[in-house]
Amino acid sequence: MDAGPMADGAQRWPGQVTERTLADGRPILYFDDEATAGPVHETADDRPLLEAPRAGEVRYDVLTGEWVTIAGHRMNRTFLPSAADCPLDPTVDPARPTEVPDSGYDVAVFANRFPSFAPLTAGPVEGAPAVPFGPPDAPAYGHCDVVVFSSDHDAAVVDLPAARMRTIVEAWAQRTAAHSADPGVAEVFVFENSGQEIGVTLTHPHGQVYAYPVVAPRTGQLLEQARRHREATGGNLLADVLAAEQAEGTRVVLAGEHFTAYVPRAARWPVEVHLAPHRDVPDLAALDDAERAELAEVYQELLRRVNRFHPGVDQVPYISGWHQAPTGAERDLGRLHLQLFSLLRAPGKLKYLAGSESGMGAWINDTTPERIAERLREVAS
């Protein structure tokens, strides 16, 4: 399926989307910065792959009320391959095929070959003993997309051309919309891990999209707090938090026409900043053209500031995650916002999640949110 350029308009994305199929039936979508006439990305995937991969199961932890995904098939997934064997590079030599069959692309999105969640599932095991407490085990149904930001193996998101960042935003929004329409999906999470300190297993610039079959624990906590806030005040918690940060101003990092970035009052990480739209929107798919255009600019500016945070450090490892409203019940309590953070507390020193954080979930921050915000303002472009 080929999708042509979008309608004209000053803020409209000028690119196009092309959908193809990999050898095992997984979908791959190419997002081009600019629309072109005629067929594109027609190179077939000729690898001798078997059927599309299957995911495992989810099990309920009766001690915490959280679902845990059992994905034993991921133990042998690709781990830090050489640049010559990178599966995210374009296929330039048919004798060394990658996950992207074409020899060139702007942004490519495909279903993960080692998914935590997938439309095809292997569990739970038939005839397994009944679960003694709580709900029964369930298939890990869902979707796991890999979003490859560039065909350049050594590129960094912060340095990509503005047009490419705009295309990435479009890919995020499109995949959010597609997976949110699946009745088996409860929540869609768009994220990027950058840096081996974070646990990155492929250094090629990329992010991921997870479509969960159940609401994730952090979202569940947020919804509970939002429900209490609405009962007490009648307001939307995330919107009211943004308004309070804007009014106080102490922790605001930057403000645009459509977005404001601020350090949360109870920041957990040595570097942390949230980005929220001024308009109440549930997810990336709900952003209009002007908001998507500004988001592309603001996001790269935040990455530039994070990279300058520690003197002498050129690339700060980070995790960037878009929290979106659940697709079903209590969707009105959610609101789109970005959480961008780093565990690098000083050059060469990481914040380890040791006893208190990992064992008890009791967070201790070695700096103050106000200092974080002040530093992120100091290093503005």
Q: Which residues are catalytic?
A: 206
Write out the two tokens for 190.
């768009």
Pairing verdict, β 16-21 and 2-3: antiparallel
- The interaxial angle of helices 289-307 and 162-180, nearest 10 deg, is 120
Q: How many CB atoms lie within 10 A of CB 201?
A: 12
Q: How many CB atoms lie within 10 A of CB 73?
A: 16
Helix, strand, coil fractions of the chain, as percent rounded to 5: 25, 25, 50
Gyration radius of the chain over CA positions: 21
Q: Determine the Cα angle at 142 with ends 138 and 145, to 5°.
A: 145
d(CA 189, CA 338): 10
Pairing verdict, β 271-277 and 252-255: unpaired
Task: Please give the backbone phi and psi of residue 216, each rounded to the nearest 5 degrees, phi first.
Answer: -70, 155
| DSSP structure class, residue 357 | I
Write out the two tokens for 116.
């935590």
Pairing verdict, β 271-277 and 344-346: unpaired
Distances (CA, A) of 169 to 294, 308, 309, 366: 10, 23, 24, 33
Displacement of CA 70 from its chain's centroid (Å)? 21
CA dihedral 25, 30, 35, 40 (to 10 degrees): -50
CA dihedral 254, 255, 258, 261 (to 10 degrees): 40
| DSSP structure class, residue 72 | G
In the numeric block, the tokens 């307001």 are attached to: 235
Alpha helices (H) in the chain, listed in sequence order = 162-180, 217-233, 237-248, 289-307, 360, 369-378
